[in-house]
């Protein structure tokens, strides 16, 4: 688990160098097999293009260089750059403009063949090429029965790769979209808000589970969340002949493991590693910034301006707040989902209040109307009310790092004065 100091228990097999350029580009994601659907709307979580000005808070990654992955071509191509370079030197000595143009074209071809300056492929190319037989991390092209252990310790035997996926929680939908694309899904939950590319998919209810609708969609695999779904639902689906795998949903560690598991079962191991690396890189960039906060403000997360629901001990929310340079005052609270009393708020006197508050209302005024005794609480008095979109922080998924960036920017604007 990554804490406010940027430590991480997760072991990552390859790192990604930070790119000082843009943090968002438009991407495409497709699935494979019988559910191929291009998704140009899938954008913003991972970087796939060259540098451009940083414009927003979405996750990104880039490589400073890349290698030719088609190893079978390397023998045939290995001598080509030297041959081309020799001819380019001869052409460079030619006084004619034709010679100069040919020289330039040949030099560019050297760069293209040798891989200098090339960019990581877009998601659809990654999905089609990264996990071929013979590639590092490949799951192979031939289907095979494999037994995996899910987040509940259940052993499930699957015919891998699996492509007809049905998520049972919004956070799971996000993870599938990042690793395999929405084309790998037969449907989406009625609570899904991201990615936009999932809008075309059939919708089904998950609380309670609409078993009839799911059976009609004929998924090859249902992916459930330990935080949302019940093992009883899994047994009912398995009675219908639909296998179920649970992903953890407690913290970032669970999210990263879930991404890797999705890569395993869908034959997208390389893509899953790229996504994990990019998320960790983005998080480390944030914690490097917030380490500069001398004294972390005491803060509380409220789910609404009305009833003051918050998060108790062992919640992922305390990590998100720590990444953003805030100290959660409910980290040691005895209840899992506490309703905070006026006495607690007055005693702890939070300097910052964070929540998914309605942008169409004055959050400070709404808090005062619901809790008039809070008028002298520092966060209310000084109007340090931080709004964060609900779907970024109220579900422990891959986009909660984006939520932490927004939280940090609004709580510590002085750290971002030189960042557009």
Q: What is the pLDDT of residues 12-45, one digit of tens each?
A: 333 333 333 333 323 333 333 333 333 333 444 4
SS3 32: coil
Separation between Cα atoms, residue 398 and residue 259, nearest integer Å: 9
> Both 61 and 76 in a single domain?
no
Question: pLDDT for 124-178, tens place per residue?
Answer: 333 333 443 333 344 445 678 999 999 999 999 999 999 899 999 999 999 999 9
> Both 59 and 173 in a single domain?
yes
Mean pLDDT of the chain: 75
Q: Is residue 357 part of a domain?
A: yes
Q: Is residue 94 part of a domain?
A: yes
| Residues 142-158 as b or e (16 or more Cβ within 10 Å = b) | eeeeeeeebbeeeebeb
Q: What is the CATH number of the domain that holds 183?
A: 3.40.50.1980
Separation between Cα atoms, residue 123 and residue 83, nearest integer Å: 33
SS3 137: coil
pLDDT of residue 141: 52
Does the pLDDT at position 270 exceed 60?
yes
Q: Is residue 19 part of a domain?
A: no
| Contact criterion met (CB below 8 Å) for 103 and 139 | no
Does the pLDDT at position 86 exceed 80?
no
Mean pLDDT on 280-297: 95
Split at pLDDT 50, 70, 90, the class of 113 is very low
Q: Which residue has the tokens 């987040």?
A: 151
pLDDT of residue 23: 30
Of 283, 311, 326, the position where a domain reaches its end is 283
> Both 366 and 404 in a single domain?
yes
Q: Can you give the pTM of this predicted structure?
A: 0.69
Split at pLDDT 50, 70, 90, the class of 232 is very high
Of 283, 307, 325, the position where a domain reaches its end is 283
> Both 163 and 199 in a single domain?
yes
> Both 136 and 244 in a single domain?
yes
> Both 191 and 303 in a single domain?
no
| Other beta carbons less than 10 A from residue 414's beta carbon | 7
Does the pLDDT at position 240 exceed 70?
yes
> Both 97 and 154 in a single domain?
no
Mean pLDDT on 251-264: 97
pLDDT of residue 142: 67
> Both 135 and 277 in a single domain?
yes
pLDDT of residue 292: 87
In sequence order, the 6+-apart residues with CB closer than 8 A to the CB of 412 are 290, 293, 324, 325
Q: Is residue 369 part of a domain?
A: yes
- Phi, psi at 170, each rounded to 5°: -60, -40
Q: Is residue 12 part of a domain?
A: no
Separation between Cα atoms, residue 83 and residue 86, nearest integer Å: 5
> Both 186 and 304 in a single domain?
no
Separation between Cα atoms, residue 87 and residue 79, nearest integer Å: 13
pLDDT of residue 418: 64
- The partner residues of 246 in beta bridges, in order of sequence, read 224
Separation between Cα atoms, residue 172 and residue 38, nearest integer Å: 20
pLDDT of residue 419: 52
Q: Is residue 215 part of a domain?
A: yes
Question: pLDDT for 163-221, tens place per residue?
Answer: 899 999 999 999 999 999 999 999 999 999 999 888 899 999 999 999 999 999 999 99
> Both 220 and 154 in a single domain?
yes
Q: Is residue 6 part of a domain?
A: no
Separation between Cα atoms, residue 142 and residue 30, nearest integer Å: 20
Report strand pairing: 244-247 vs 203-204.
Answer: unpaired
Q: Is residue 365 part of a domain?
A: yes
pLDDT of residue 144: 86
Number of domains in the chain: 3
pLDDT of residue 358: 86
pLDDT of residue 361: 84
> Both 346 and 230 in a single domain?
no
> Both 249 and 104 in a single domain?
no
Of 283, 308, 335, the position where a domain reaches its end is 283
pLDDT of residue 325: 98
Domain that holds residue 404: 293-416
């Amino acid at each position: 688990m990554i804490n406010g100091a940027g430590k991480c228990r997760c072991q990552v097999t390859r790192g990604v160098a930070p790119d000082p350029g843009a943090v968002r580009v438009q991407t495409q994601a497709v699935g494979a097999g019988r559910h191929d659907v291009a998704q140009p709307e899938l954008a913003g979580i991972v970087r796939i293009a060259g540098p451009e000005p940083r414009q927003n808070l979405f996750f990104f990654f880039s490589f400073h260089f890349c290698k030719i992955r088609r190893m079978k071509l390397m023998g045939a191509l290995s001598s080509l750059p030297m041959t081309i370079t020799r001819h380019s030197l001869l052409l460079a000595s030619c006084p004619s403009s034709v010679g100069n143009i040919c020289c330039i074209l040949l030099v560019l071809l050297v760069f293209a063949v040798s891989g200098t300056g090339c960019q990581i492929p877009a998601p659809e190319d990654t999905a089609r090429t990264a996990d071929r037989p013979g590639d590092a991390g490949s799951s192979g092209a031939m289907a095979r029965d494999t037994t995996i252990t899910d987040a509940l310790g259940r052993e499930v035997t699957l015919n891998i790769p699996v492509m007809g996926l049905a998520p049972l929680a919004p956070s799971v939908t996000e993870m599938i979209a990042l690793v395999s694309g929405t084309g790998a899904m037969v449907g989406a939950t009625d609570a899904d808000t991201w990615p936009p590319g999932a809008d075309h998919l059939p919708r089904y209810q998950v609380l309670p589970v609409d078993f009839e609708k799911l059976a009609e969609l004929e998924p090859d695999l249902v992916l459930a969340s330990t935080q949302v779904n019940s093992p009883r639902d899994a047994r009912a689906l398995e009675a219908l002949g639909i296998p179920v795998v649970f992903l953890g949903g407690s913290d970032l560690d669970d999210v990263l493991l879930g991404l890797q598991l999705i890569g395993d079962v869908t034959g997208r191991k390389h893509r899953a590693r790229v996504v994990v690396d990019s998320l960790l890189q983005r998080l480390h960039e944030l914690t490097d910034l917030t380490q500069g906060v001398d004294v972390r403000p005491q803060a509380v997360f409220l789910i609404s301006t009305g009833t003051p629901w918050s998060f108790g001990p062992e919640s992922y929310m305390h990590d998100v707040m720590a990444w953003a340079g805030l100290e959660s005052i409910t980290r040691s609270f005895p209840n899992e989902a506490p309703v905070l009393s006026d006495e607690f708020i007055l005693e702890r006197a939070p300097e910052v209040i964070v929540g998914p508050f309605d942008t169409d209302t004055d959050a400070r005024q709404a808090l005062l109307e619901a809790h008039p005794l809070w008028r002298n609480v520092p966060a209310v008095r000084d109007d340090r009310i931080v709004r964060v979109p609900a779907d970024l922080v109220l579900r422990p998924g891959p986009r909660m790092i984006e939520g932490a960036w927004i939280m940090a920017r609004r709580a510590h604007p002085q750290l971002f004065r030189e960042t557009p």
